[in-house]
């Protein structure tokens, strides 16, 4: 039998019992197509390429990939799903935490 656990509260979820929810989150670099003029194609971009390669030196493949795309998957119980739907970015909790420090 497959067992699942709520990734927020830790409650055990069984595949054949209570409703469970899956949350999938994708974070990826936004791409806005640019208008390219002929002068852009004629320009020497060697210095820009060297700078970019220098910035990438020492970075691992996973770090570089994470800058372009990252996907997450979470299992939630019904009560955590309801909480997540109400505030998917947990902005209310972050605001409360900021004011609690006063």
pTM above 0.85, yes or no: no
pLDDT tens by residue, 1-59:
677 899 999 999 876 666 889 999 999 988 877 788 888 888 888 999 999 889 888 88
In the 3-class helix/strand/coil scheme, how is 15-77 assigned residue by residue?
CCCCCCEEEEEEEECCCCCCCCCHHHHHCCCHHHHHHHHHHHCCCCHHHHHHCCEEEEEEEEC
pLDDT of residue 95: 66
Q: Environment class of residue 63 by beta-carbon count within 10 Å: exposed (0-12), middle (13-18) or buried (19+)?
A: exposed
Token couple for 72? 């997450």
CA angle 29, 30, 32 (to 5 degrees): 140
pLDDT tens by residue, 76-88:
999 999 999 999 9
């Amino acid at each position: 039998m497959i067992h699942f656990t709520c990734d927020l509260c830790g409650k055990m979820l069984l595949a054949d019992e209570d409703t469970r929810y899956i949350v999938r989150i994708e974070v990826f670099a936004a791409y806005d197509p640019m208008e390219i003029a002929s002068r852009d194609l004629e320009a020497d971009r060697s210095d820009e390429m060297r700078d970019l390669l220098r910035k990438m030196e020492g970075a691992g493949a996973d770090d570089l990939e994470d800058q372009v795309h990252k996907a997450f998957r979470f299992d939630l119980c019904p009560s955590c799903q309801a909480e997540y739907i109400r505030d998917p970015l947990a902005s209310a909790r972050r605001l409360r935490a900021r004011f609690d420090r006063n």
